[in-house]
Copies of this chain bind each other. A is one copy, B any other.
Amino acid sequence: MYFQTFKQITKLLGQMDTWFDKANDYAKSRSFDPNVFVGLRLAPDQFPLSRQVQIACDTVKRGAFRMAGKEVPVQEDTEKTVDELRARIKSVISYLDTFTEKDFEGITSRTVPYPSPAPQWKGKTMTAHDYFMEHVIPNFFFHTCHVYAILRHNGVPLGKHDYLGSITHR
């Protein structure tokens, strides 16, 4: 299930990438610079779109590498344009594509550092399973849905299909 959830998350990151096609189209139709989206927020004391994308990306990248017991590749948060954010998303999809079911075997005995830089958490650990359930999944969705919400709030005509992508049916 860990691997399968990361596969589903990879799919949703691919969907996020497509939202920026609609964002670019919308900006063009209204004759504004699509990179305006990068700095938009839902509240003045909430992160802008760029940071929401970066955290969604980092949450799952760190999640997969830590849970697999591998060193996490570091990426700087320097994106200032829609194209740079899309490249960041695609880079994380590429990272996730390197994982196989085997990487998550034996996870039940693995622990990870508590995922907060705050001093009170120094030295604390979580089981890889708790980290996955209580940090990786809810935070990935939180920031991904905020990317969607910021775009939608600002006029980009996104719908549920843009979020979910195609559904496997019989």
Q: Which of B127, B139, B145, B167 contacts A126 (CB 8 A)?
A: B167
Nearest chain B CB to A72 CB, angstrom units:
19
Tell me, yes or no, whether A163 is within 8 Å of chain B by CB. Answer: yes
Instruction: Report how many copies the assembly holds.
Output: 2
Complex partner residue of A164 from B43, B126, B139, CB under 8 angstroms: B139
Please provide the chain A residues from 118 to 170 with a CB less than 8 Å away from any CB of chain B in the complex.
121, 124-127, 130, 133-135, 137-139, 141-142, 145-146, 148-149, 152-153, 155, 160, 163-164, 167-170
Closest to A45 in B: B157
Q: Which residue of B lies closest to A166 (CB)?
A: B134
In Å, the complex CA distance between A76 and B137 comes to: 30
In contact, B170 and A134 (Cβ under 8 angstroms) = no
In the complex, the answer to whether A12 meets B149 with C-beta atoms within 8 Å is no
